[in-house]
Structure 1
Amino acid sequence: MKTISSVVENYIKSKPFLLNSLSQGIINLTSLARVMMPELEKELGKDVKQGAVVMALKRLSEELDFKINLKISKVLRNLGEITVRSSLVDYAFAISETLLENQVKLISEINKNQDIFYTSSRGVNETNIIISRAVADLVDNIFKNEKQTHKIENLSSISVKLPQENVSVPGVYYYIFQRLAWEGVVIHEVISTTNEFTIIVRDEQIDVAFKVIKGLKVVNE
């Protein structure tokens, strides 16, 4: 049986930005309840009192404040080293029988140079390679016979070390990416390992992106 509380919770959870704003207590609950009521009444098939919706929202916001802010804040307080790299190029190649062989050649060439940024991710149909612009000519040469689907220059990266508990706390990435979205940062690529993630953005947005990520740790201290 559907209840006002369950329908209100489903409504809020289907709207991520609203969910976060509610957890921060920056929404007028009475006004929100008024906006929600037509949809809630349709879902429940009966009239709903505004006061009941407000109370359901109040209980939900208190639960969210504990579930989201307490756990995620602990992870964000323990964010580790933040590393910024610039002058990157993003390549994408269609999967082929020779692609891995060429990647081995590339890694062999750049392996001794610790200053070179290199990361790669393989999907079903294509492989991405993000690398320092200093060796772009090398990539162009080694992969000249591969089908290149795109090449984007003037990119920068931000790599962040996460505490080990990030794997057991839901919403960490959502929270970070939501803040970046609010500031208008377009994430070009995301690369992650168990306790580290890297975002790739255009050079002109790197300062804003860095400020947002660094600010997450400061705000939650």
Structure 2
Amino acid sequence: MITIPQVVEKIISAQPFLTEALVEGLINISSLARKIQSQVEQSVQKPVKIGAIIMALNRLAPSLEVKINPGLKDVITNVGDIIVRSQLADFTYKNSNTLIEKHTELLKSIGPNQEFFYTMVQGVFESNLVVSKSLKEKVEDTFAGEYLISKSDKLSSVTLKLPSSNSQQLGFYYYILKSIAWAGINIQEVVSTTNEFTLVVNDVDIDKTFSVLKNMGNH
């Protein structure tokens, strides 16, 4: 038979933001107990007192912290340089037989110029380019004839240089994205490689984004 603590843990663990808030002590335990009381009673198929749920929540918080943060703080603290780029434009095209050819053509025309920001991600049905705004007309000319799904500008990016251990650390990317979401920042695009993680956001959010990422290790 499933117990009250087991049911409470299942309910809380299914809601990442709620889990984090509980661990950080940001939630009124009594209010949370009342909120989930009906779910707990439905699962155990009997009436459950609020006190029993409160007790389960109080016992759960420390164990959740252990599950969420084993080694995570060390990895976050060891994040390397933070690189900010502004004046970016974002294009999304429908995939086609000629899209890669256009991409290659554009790269050749740019040449080995390190001043430009250029990244392309090919998905199953569409491909995304985030480039320096100065390349906007060149992109539009080169990809003329391709099906443009969307485009936007007034964007900036923040790139994190990651420690090599990031790929082995459970919850690393969740921790980053959670911090951004809690700050109320809308992410336009995400670009990830093995040791780099780039967030593309609206220009108005770039200062806040940089601040959140810079201070992650202090949480």
Q: Answer yes or no: same fold by TM over 0.5.
A: yes
**How many aligned positions are there?**
219
**Tell me, which stretches of 5 or more residues in structure 1 are unaligned?**
none
Would you identify which runs of 4 or more consecutive aligned residues in structure 1 move more than 4 Å?
none
* TM-superposition CA deviations, 1:43-86 (whole Å, max 9, x none): 11012233322222122210122222342211111111100000
What's the offset of the Cα at 1:141? 1.2
| Distance in 2 between residues matched to 1:33 and 1:22, nearest whole Å | 12
Matched, 1:93 2:93: yes
Which residue of structure 2 lines up, in the alignment, with residue 103 of structure 1? Answer: 103
The answer on whether the counterparts of 1:23 and 1:68 sit within 8 Å (CA) in structure 2 is: no
Query: More displaced, 138-147 or 80-89?
Result: 138-147
Which residue of structure 1 lines up, in the alignment, with residue 30 of structure 2? Answer: 30
**Tell me, which stretches of 5 or more residues in structure 2 are unaligned?**
none
Which residue of structure 1 lines up, in the alignment, with residue 191 of structure 2? Answer: 191
What's the offset of the Cα at 1:166? 1.6
Look up the equivalent residue of 2:103 and give its one-letter code. Q
| Distance in 2 between residues matched to 1:115 and 1:62, nearest whole Å | 48
| Distance in 2 between residues matched to 1:6 and 1:164, nearest whole Å | 36
Pairing of 1:178-217 with structure 2 (within 5 A): 178-217=178-217
Pairing of 1:93-172 with structure 2 (within 5 A): 93-172=93-172
Aligned CA RMSD, in angstroms, stands at 1.4
DSSP-derived class of the 2:69 partner: helix
| Distance in 2 between residues matched to 1:31 and 1:56, nearest whole Å | 14
| Distance in 2 between residues matched to 1:65 and 1:48, nearest whole Å | 26
The answer on whether the counterparts of 1:122 and 1:128 sit within 8 Å (CA) in structure 2 is: yes
Which residue of structure 2 lines up, in the alignment, with residue 175 of structure 1? Answer: 175
| Distance in 2 between residues matched to 1:31 and 1:139, nearest whole Å | 54
Taking only the aligned residue pairs, the percentage that are identical comes to: 43
| Distance in 1 between residues matched to 2:109 and 2:167, nearest whole Å | 34
What's the offset of the Cα at 1:17? 1.4
Look up the equivalent residue of 1:142 and give its one-letter code. T
DSSP-derived class of the 2:138 partner: helix
